[in-house]
Amino acid sequence: MIRYRYPRIPESEVTPKPLLDSRRRFLRQGAALGAVAAAPGLLWSADAKAWQSKLEGRLEEALASSDLANGEAPTSLRDITTYNNFYEFGTGKRDPEVYGHRLVTDPWSLAIEGEVDKAGTFALEDVLAGQMLEERIYRHRCVEAWSKVIPWAGFPLADLLKRHGPTSRAKYVVFETIHDPDNLRGQRRSIIEWPYREALRIDEAMHPLTMLAVGLYGEVMPNQNGAPIRLVVPWKYGFKSIKSIVRIALVEERPTTSWHDRNPEEYGFYANVNPGVDHPRWSQARERRIGESGRRETLMFNGYADEVAHLYADMDLHRHY
């Protein structure tokens, strides 16, 4: 078994080679932990605050890369954590790094509601207990025509949803970010209707590429990237990948979503990366990779067409953008 530890990356230095060479490996939890997580009545653990230190250990000890970015070099940790969209902290790209420390992530709980057999509010630690963590390097393409390549750590959203037993009426999955205007200065301004809300169709949510991420570059998720738990849907524009999730609800009707409601012409519900469908104010044919000069061609479904195109086989993607 190959063990790989990430180097601490001080600056804009990346070390893509070991990342790309390292093999896929999964963290297997001990049976005892799994049993605790599954036992009814134990879902609220006494030491909810412990999730962070436990997760650190798990991320450091047993991560390995599965390269789903076709060998493209990961963006530097510095660029990943200093050029962000997280409007809860302001609209500037540096705001999330500067103000992110105000986000209180420990303790954290996640409500899972609606069309599920097992609804409730769960300490994050219990959500993570017994869950295999996996690292995946994904392309990350923002609607604003910039992109990154990010080594995320997390697990398929489908794992979580299946554990809660979606009913046959569950057609969409809604996600909400924490609402805490005292600490999140952006939420004192009406940039969008808070809290930030996103949604996926159930088949998109259950797709094996769709992840809940709790870390990146082998470390616990930085606040500015959506600590402690965020969505990652690599074939869609970044605004679908909602950060700092406190609520997941399975519903029958298509729900409202923040950016689509604010401006449906500019932000479609599907938001699939598509170089052939421009944003009304700019082209989506090319993108700027953060940390690189020049522009590169944008790939259909962000390069994940083989995996996801079938989800939209009967749809006019110009109309359902």
List residues near ligand MTE by CB under 6 A. Answer: 84-88, 140, 142, 148, 177, 196, 225, 238-239, 241-244
Q: Which is nearer to ligand MTE, 43 or 172 (CB)?
A: 172
Least distance CB 191 / ligand MTE (angstroms): 8
Looking at the chain, how many residues does it have?
Answer: 321
Residues paired with 241 in a beta bridge? none
Q: Which is nearer to ligand MTE, 86 or 122 (CB)?
A: 86
Q: Which is nearer to ligand MTE, 67 or 79 (CB)?
A: 79
Least distance CB 93 / ligand MTE (angstroms): 8
Tell me if 242 sits within 8 A of 175, measured CB to CB.
yes
Q: Which is nearer to ligand MTE, 92 or 107 (CB)?
A: 92
SS (H, E, C) 232-301: ECCCECHHHCCCCEEEEEEECCCCCCHHHHHCCCCCCCCCECCCCCCECCECCCEEEECCCCCCEECCHH
Least distance CB 220 / ligand MTE (angstroms): 14
The Cα–Cα gap between 321 and 15 comes to 36
Least distance CB 73 / ligand MTE (angstroms): 16
Q: Which is nearer to ligand MTE, 22 or 81 (CB)?
A: 81
Q: Which is nearer to ligand MTE, 123 or 192 (CB)?
A: 192
Least distance CB 176 / ligand MTE (angstroms): 9
Least distance CB 87 / ligand MTE (angstroms): 4
Q: Which residue is nearest to ligand MTE (CB)?
A: 238
Q: Which is nearer to ligand MTE, 37 or 301 (CB)?
A: 301
Residues paired with 146 in a beta bridge? 288
SS (H, E, C) the chain: CCCCCCCCCCCCCCCHHHHHHCCCCCCCCCHHHHHHHHCCCCCCCCCHHHHHHHHHHHHHHCCCEEEECCCCCCCCHHHHHHCCCCHHHCCCCCHHHHHHHHCCCCCCEEEEEECECCCEEEEHHHHHCCCCCEEEEEEEECCCCEEEEEEEEEEEHHHHHHHHCECCCCCEEEEEECCCCCCCHHHHCCCCCCCCEEEEEHHHHCCCCCEEEEEECCEECCHHHCCCCEEECCCECHHHCCCCEEEEEEECCCCCCHHHHHCCCCCCCCCECCCCCCECCECCCEEEECCCCCCEECCHHHHCHHHHHHHHCCCCCCCCC
Least distance CB 85 / ligand MTE (angstroms): 4
Q: Which is nearer to ligand MTE, 142 or 250 (CB)?
A: 142
Least distance CB 301 / ligand MTE (angstroms): 16
Least distance CB 100 / ligand MTE (angstroms): 10
Q: Which is nearer to ligand MTE, 122 or 196 (CB)?
A: 196
